[in-house]
A and B are shown apart, each in its own frame.
Chain A
């Protein structure tokens, strides 16, 4: 736990009094303090290319009156600096007359341990694993031409002080281990990428030479792509594998169900609450409470405990994801979805772990039912235009399906669809729900936050595949 006032000329009591004074006529607001430590150790091209360490400290002070947000941040925690910020907020909100909203739910549940993953493993041990990864992959044959592997670790301590001195705090560990491999055959080059991570120690993912399975998966994807032929172009049936392909859910409906876009009525979903937006059997939740997952949080960045929010239940739109600001303006409650990348940024409603729950069918049945289509199992990333609802995601491992059988691998291609209608095209939901391996980062308004996704295999009746073969 960080003591943010230990080396400052500002005492906790003084800070509390500035906060209460600044926010007295506001509707909401808080002082957010953050101390983060992070490391990155990278092996590339047979060498340790980079070992770096970052330590970041700062505060963000927010005052809200009706719809107007005033925000000021600084990396100097001092009396002067906080007073200066307070003046900035007051000058923006010149004539405020709100009622401060004190209500914040309490919970004693914690979804990860108070650890610093960076300190739990020595630099030498990390370097040894990276070198072992390099040797292991390069021993797999001459076709392996390039290996990149890295450790990313972080410990972030946050404290939220509200008007009246109410204080909430959280210590969040986060690690990620990635491997990328490039292979070459007959002058053709392809890459494969795989990684694992979440909110616990590196060893929880890498012990007993578990790193080998990460290497094997990256190499398998790269090798499959060496044999790939041009992807088809046009509308067809698409079977998505379980796990990481749930980026589809994240892009197609997740972003469109975030509170801010719906309060502003700029989301394609804003007038669809209570209506059917997906096929029967499709249930989607956003869950911040799964133990030690990358997208999980004990409390969000406004201090609200996270929860399991049902977004779509059996095809019907049930809830949006809310932070305090949007919840208040839409006369509902925060779902514990208020997040920010760090103290430099304002809070926005964001996803945590977004999941489509299992149905009854098998992946085999889905593939058997397709005459002509594609089977996509691994993805790069995606993007969505909230307003038009159009979204894309990029396959990194996919196969053609011909007459109910999996055929040749096809080159990476972009798939495009329409968010509000795509889930009505889901005609089968598999019984094999799986979480992603814990590597996702979601970007919104220039802020990246760690997230998770999960889904079973699904069959989509119609989607546009952006290949080159007509």
Chain B
């Protein structure tokens, strides 16, 4: 059982009181408990069962404009006393910074809405095993599948965030995640692919058969890939890759990158950075949303932001510290975005595939090739050659490269948005990227 609010609040107030007694002028604390149970299957047999129970605390203390923090998984009072004393002592010895402070009181979240983020149901390991048996049977139907590894995790978490301005709130969340990784083999090649489903509520989880079938089909279609020549070509990002473009965008508009001057989107507010039709939202109050929340990691209330309106950048993602530095108010984005997504485009998936006589459909990228200082992008990729709207053959051992400044201006989105991850995008076409192959 995950610890209740009362237990967490008691620990939190103990820490705040002690920090004050030891000379901290301000402090904030997070106490979090997370209990998860995982069952893994491999080739239709039980492979691993794992239970974890993590209780952790992190405390930040201020002495005037000086600040320091500690974290620990050992919540015994003896240990907390030593750590908080050490934290306050370190704070006193750390140089001050005029922008260090708790959030402005009037920005703190007032009341927590119920966003439907917690499902009380419990799925026992035996039931997880039943689900995985069904999933793996579906995944290994085809003889070309030579290995299957599947997993089911139930996670229940609870947390409290409190600070010396009187903020003290938290709530439970749950997640149920099933995944399947399959390996397919033929005479020429061996390939791997996956499918996964993660939901706040158990009953919303994808059907086991469906998940297994998808994983297997996505793997089998990659067999016997070819390498193509180097050329400039239209790229279509599958939804699971397209969301990565949004994540890079989010890093580049974080107030820390902006205030440090290390982003290619610095000073671009109210400028056109995407093509006309592009709208980007960050919506924290979606019911059952995987990224939903009532307040950010400092307790600041989070409202929905239309980050990009018809191609024009409207907001940075602002926390208290960097906000003060930039002379802007926090908009509740300490710790990043919530449910971030591109609004649907107005062309369907099929028409997007048909929009060019030849294009590349990318289903996987590897490498960390996004540079938010320069906007340069270069990654390894796997996918399919598309000709006249048809999937022709699988492609691998290529790279795709460009610069986000140009890529953003050349995006066309399909109308197939779904909320599968915390960050979501419809299928995305980008013109003018360079493929390096043979």
B378–A387 touching, CB < 8 Å: no
A212: CB under 8 A from chain B?
A: no
A417–B261 touching, CB < 8 Å: no
**How many residues on A have C-beta within 8 angstroms of the other chain's C-beta atoms?**
78
Per a CB cutoff under 8 Å, which of B45, B51, B183, B366 touches A387?
B183
B46: CB under 8 A from chain A?
A: yes
| A268 cross-chain contacts in B, Cβ below 8 A | 190
Q: Which of B157-165, B201-209, B288-296, B399-407 contacts A (4 or more CB under 8 A)?
A: B399-407
Q: A437-470: contact bitstring with B at CB < 8 Å (1 yes, 0 no)?
A: 0000000000000000000000000001111111
Q: A344-373: contact bitstring with B at CB < 8 Å (1 yes, 0 no)?
A: 101000000000000000000000000000
A464-B53 contact given A48-B97, A75-B74, A380-B368, CB 8 Å threshold: no
Q: A68 to B44: give the CA distance in the assembly, Å.
A: 12
B90–A414 touching, CB < 8 Å: no
Nearest Cβ on chain B to A427's Cβ, whole angstroms: 19
A203: CB under 8 A from chain B?
A: no
A200: CB under 8 A from chain B?
A: no
Q: A107 to B51: give the CA distance in the assembly, Å.
A: 33
| A391 cross-chain contacts in B, Cβ below 8 A | 366, 380
Residue of B nearest to A77 (CB): B74
Per a CB cutoff under 8 Å, which of B50, B72, B190 touches A72?
B50
B125: CB under 8 A from chain A?
A: yes
Q: Which of A25-33, A49-57, A162-170, A428-436 contacts B (4 or more CB under 8 A)?
A: A49-57
Q: Which of B9-17, B78-86, B276-284, B418-426 contacts A (4 or more CB under 8 A)?
A: B78-86
Residue of B nearest to A393 (CB): B367
Nearest Cβ on chain A to B370's Cβ, whole angstroms: 10
B399–A414 touching, CB < 8 Å: yes
B94–A51 touching, CB < 8 Å: yes
Q: A63-78: contact bitstring with B at CB < 8 Å (1 yes, 0 no)?
A: 0000111111111100
A346-B68 contact given A49-B97, A58-B73, CB 8 Å threshold: no
Q: B44-72: contact bitstring with A at CB < 8 Å (1 yes, 0 no)?
A: 01111111111110000000000011111
Contact residues of B between 380 and 416, Cβ < 8 Å to A: 380, 382, 396-403
A47: CB under 8 A from chain B?
A: yes
Per a CB cutoff under 8 Å, which of B54, B261, B373, B380 touches A416?
B380
A48-B369 contact given A88-B51, A145-B261, CB 8 Å threshold: no
Q: A86 to B183: give the CA distance in the assembly, Å.
A: 34
Q: A469 to B231: give the CA distance in the assembly, Å.
A: 9
Per a CB cutoff under 8 Å, which of A57, A68, A123 touches B46?
A68
B401–A68 touching, CB < 8 Å: no
A466-B192 contact given A51-B90, A72-B51, CB 8 Å threshold: no
B52–A388 touching, CB < 8 Å: no
Q: Which of B171-179, B246-254, B337-345, B430-438 contacts A (4 or more CB under 8 A)?
A: B430-438
A217: CB under 8 A from chain B?
A: no
| A393 cross-chain contacts in B, Cβ below 8 A | 367
Residue of B nearest to A36 (CB): B73
Q: A362-405: contact bitstring with B at CB < 8 Å (1 yes, 0 no)?
A: 00000000000000000011111111101111100000000000
Nearest Cβ on chain B to A12's Cβ, whole angstroms: 19
A55–B436 touching, CB < 8 Å: no
A388–B259 touching, CB < 8 Å: no
B378–A124 touching, CB < 8 Å: no
Nearest Cβ on chain A to B76's Cβ, whole angstroms: 7
Q: A268 to B191: give the CA distance in the assembly, Å.
A: 9
A464-B97 contact given A71-B50, A191-B373, A266-B147, CB 8 Å threshold: no
| B47 cross-chain contacts in A, Cβ below 8 A | 67-69
A235–B438 touching, CB < 8 Å: yes
Q: A76 to B262: give the CA distance in the assembly, Å.
A: 42
Q: A470 to B42: give the CA distance in the assembly, Å.
A: 44
B376: CB under 8 A from chain A?
A: yes
A146: CB under 8 A from chain B?
A: yes
Nearest Cβ on chain A to B260's Cβ, whole angstroms: 5
A106: CB under 8 A from chain B?
A: no
Q: Which of B68, B367, B382, B400 has the most CB of A within 10 A?
A: B367
Residue of B nearest to A81 (CB): B53
Q: A460 to B370: give the CA distance in the assembly, Å.
A: 25
Residue of B nearest to A395 (CB): B378
B105: CB under 8 A from chain A?
A: no
B357: CB under 8 A from chain A?
A: no
A47-B97 contact given A71-B49, A182-B261, A466-B400, CB 8 Å threshold: yes
A21: CB under 8 A from chain B?
A: no
Per a CB cutoff under 8 Å, which of B53, B230, B368, B396 touches A390?
B396
B73–A414 touching, CB < 8 Å: no
| A464 cross-chain contacts in B, Cβ below 8 A | 397-399, 436-438
Q: A417 to B376: give the CA distance in the assembly, Å.
A: 21
| A68 cross-chain contacts in B, Cβ below 8 A | 45-49
A234: CB under 8 A from chain B?
A: yes
B53–A123 touching, CB < 8 Å: no
Q: A135-148: contact bitstring with B at CB < 8 Å (1 yes, 0 no)?
A: 00000000001100
Q: A387 to B192: give the CA distance in the assembly, Å.
A: 6
Contact residues of A between 154 and 200, Cβ < 8 Å to B: 182, 188-191
Nearest Cβ on chain B to A286's Cβ, whole angstroms: 22
Per a CB cutoff under 8 Å, which of B368, B400, B436, B438 touches A383?
B368
B307: CB under 8 A from chain A?
A: no
A264: CB under 8 A from chain B?
A: yes
A83: CB under 8 A from chain B?
A: no
Residue of A nearest to B379 (CB): A414
| A470 cross-chain contacts in B, Cβ below 8 A | 230-232, 434
B436–A266 touching, CB < 8 Å: no
Q: A188 to B191: give the CA distance in the assembly, Å.
A: 41
A96: CB under 8 A from chain B?
A: no
| A70 cross-chain contacts in B, Cβ below 8 A | 48-50
A45: CB under 8 A from chain B?
A: yes
| A58 cross-chain contacts in B, Cβ below 8 A | 73
Per a CB cutoff under 8 Å, which of A48, A88, A466 touches B379?
A466
A468–B397 touching, CB < 8 Å: no
Residue of B nearest to A380 (CB): B368
Contact residues of A between 289 and 339, Cβ < 8 Å to B: none
A76–B52 touching, CB < 8 Å: no
B376–A412 touching, CB < 8 Å: yes
Residue of B nearest to A469 (CB): B434
A468–B434 touching, CB < 8 Å: yes
| B72 cross-chain contacts in A, Cβ below 8 A | 54-57
B93–A124 touching, CB < 8 Å: yes
Per a CB cutoff under 8 Å, which of A52, A190, A233, A390 touches B434?
A233
B401–A234 touching, CB < 8 Å: no
Q: A48 to B100: give the CA distance in the assembly, Å.
A: 11
Per a CB cutoff under 8 Å, which of A91, A383, A387, A468 touches B191?
A387
Q: A146 to B263: give the CA distance in the assembly, Å.
A: 12
| B146 cross-chain contacts in A, Cβ below 8 A | 265
Per a CB cutoff under 8 Å, which of B68, B364, B371, B436 touches A234?
B436
Residue of B nearest to A93 (CB): B49
Residue of B nearest to A65 (CB): B46
A7: CB under 8 A from chain B?
A: yes
Residue of A nearest to B406 (CB): A468
A48-B191 contact given A75-B73, A233-B401, CB 8 Å threshold: no
Further pairs besides A231-B378, A393-B367, A417-B397: 13, Cβ < 8 Å: A55-B72, A68-B46, A70-B48, A91-B125, A92-B49, A383-B366, A385-B366, A390-B397, A391-B380, A392-B366, A416-B398, A465-B436, A468-B401
3 residue pairs, one from A and one from B, having the closest CB atoms: A466-B399, A233-B436, A392-B380
A-B contact pairs, 5 of them (CB 8 A): A191-B262, A234-B436, A234-B438, A235-B437, A468-B378
